[in-house]
Each structure stands twice: as structure tokens, then as C-alpha cells.
């Protein structure tokens, strides 16, 4: 009986139960992509895996040079771990994807990779959208009409400048970097 005193047939309850079961089943399915996964927060950045620990002098150079940090495997891994701990690794991931993109020789593979990079990092509401201005986004989109090795250059330079100005100073102040240069 509903709140108005009208009897409810039992078939309504079974229909409702099936509907709820279906919705729960959808929620419990395996995610189709990594975007659907919930990644647990890791309080401490992972230590770089099996790379030579830099000398104190090398590590100190990272404070003033993002290039030197990115060229050093230990530095790159440390920086990536730090950014992951802050949930802000998309800029570095984009920059690295651009570096890989520049190594592609085949025009077909280049077009395929360019499309993936656009969908992952550039388009509005992309899963790992990087923070670039509309002007840079427009230039990048125009460059992708006919993909070339330089299609992402403007966006990559903007992201590099952002990491240099924002991410690098935060990394240098981090506990992980401070432990390294003790």
C-alpha cells in the first residue's frame, strides 16, 4: 500500500529490485580505462627505481635548471614521483609525450599519436588536461590539421615554462629533495 492507500502490485517491487540490481552491477563492473580507476593517495613519493643516485653537486644543480633535472634519470623519476604525490603530474607527462612524439618517423603513426595526445592532454575536459591558454590551444589545434614533428612545440614550451616557474620550486622545497641534498 502506498502513502495514498492504493495497493501496489508485487510485480512493481520485483521490477524495482531488478532495476537496482542492474545499476549496482554497472557500478561493480571493471573500468574500461585507467580514467575510471580511483588511484589511492601515496603520502610519500616513491624512491627512484634502480637509477644511480646523483652526487650532491648534480642534485644541487637541479634547483636552477629544469633541463638538468629532466636529463638525469634519477632526477626525472624523483620529480615525477613528487608531482604524482601532489596529483599534478599531467604537465610532466605531456612534456615527456611531446619528447616521444618528436622521435616518430612514420606520418601515419605521427597522426595517430597526435590524436591521442590531443584527446588526453589538450582538448577541453581531457582526462589529463594541461593548463594552457586558449591561444596556445588554438595554435596546437591548427598544427594538428597536418601533424608534423613541431605540432606540439608551442604547447610544450608553455608547459615547460609552467613547470620551471611553478613545479620545480615546489619540488626543490619538498622533503624528498631536501633529504637528497643533505
- 38-66 per-position pLDDT tens digit: 333 344 444 444 568 899 999 999 999 99
Identify the pLDDT of residue 24. 45
Q: What is the mean pLDDT of the chain?
A: 82
Find out whether 74 and 114 touch, Cβ atoms under 8 Å. no
Greatest C-alpha distance within the chain: 82
- Output the CA–CA distances (angstroms, integers) from residue 156 to 2, 38, 95, in the order listed: 62, 28, 6
Q: Residue 126: CB partners within 8 Å, gap ≥ 6?
A: 118, 119, 120
CATH number of 56-179: 1.10.167.10
Per-residue pLDDT tens for 106-153? 999 999 999 999 999 999 999 999 999 999 999 999 999 999 999 999
Query: Does residue 28 register a pLDDT over 90?
Result: no
Find out whether 80 and 163 touch, Cβ atoms under 8 Å. no
Mean pLDDT of all residues in 73-84 = 95
Residue extents of the structural domains in the chain: 56-179
Amino acid at each position: 500500500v502506498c502513502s495514498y492507500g492504493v495497493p501496489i502490485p508485487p510485480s512493481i517491487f520485483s521490477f524495482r529490485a531488478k532495476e537496482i540490481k542492474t545499476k549496482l552491477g554497472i557500478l561493480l563492473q571493471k573500468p574500461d580505462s585507467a580514467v575510471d580507476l580511483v588511484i589511492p593517495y601515496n603520502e610519500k613519493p616513491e624512491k627512484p627505481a634502480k637509477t644511480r643516485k646523483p652526487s650532491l653537486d648534480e642534485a644541487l644543480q637541479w634547483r636552477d635548471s629544469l633541463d638538468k633535472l629532466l636529463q638525469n634519470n634519477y632526477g626525472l623519476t624523483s620529480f615525477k614521483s613528487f608531482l604524482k604525490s601532489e596529483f599534478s603530474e599531467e604537465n610532466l607527462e605531456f612534456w615527456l609525450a611531446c619528447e616521444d612524439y618528436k622521435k616518430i618517423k612514420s606520418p601515419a603513426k605521427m597522426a595517430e599519436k597526435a590524436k591521442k595526445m590531443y584527446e588526453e592532454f589538450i582538448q577541453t575536459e581531457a582526462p589529463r588536461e594541461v593548463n594552457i591558454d586558449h591561444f596556445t590551444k588554438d595554435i596546437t589545434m591548427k598544427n594538428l590539421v597536418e601533424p608534423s614533428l613541431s605540432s606540439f612545440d608551442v604547447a610544450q614550451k608553455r608547459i615547460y615554462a609552467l613547470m620551471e616557474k611553478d613545479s620545480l620550486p615546489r619540488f626543490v622545497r619538498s622533503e624528498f629533495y631536501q633529504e637528497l641534498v643533505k
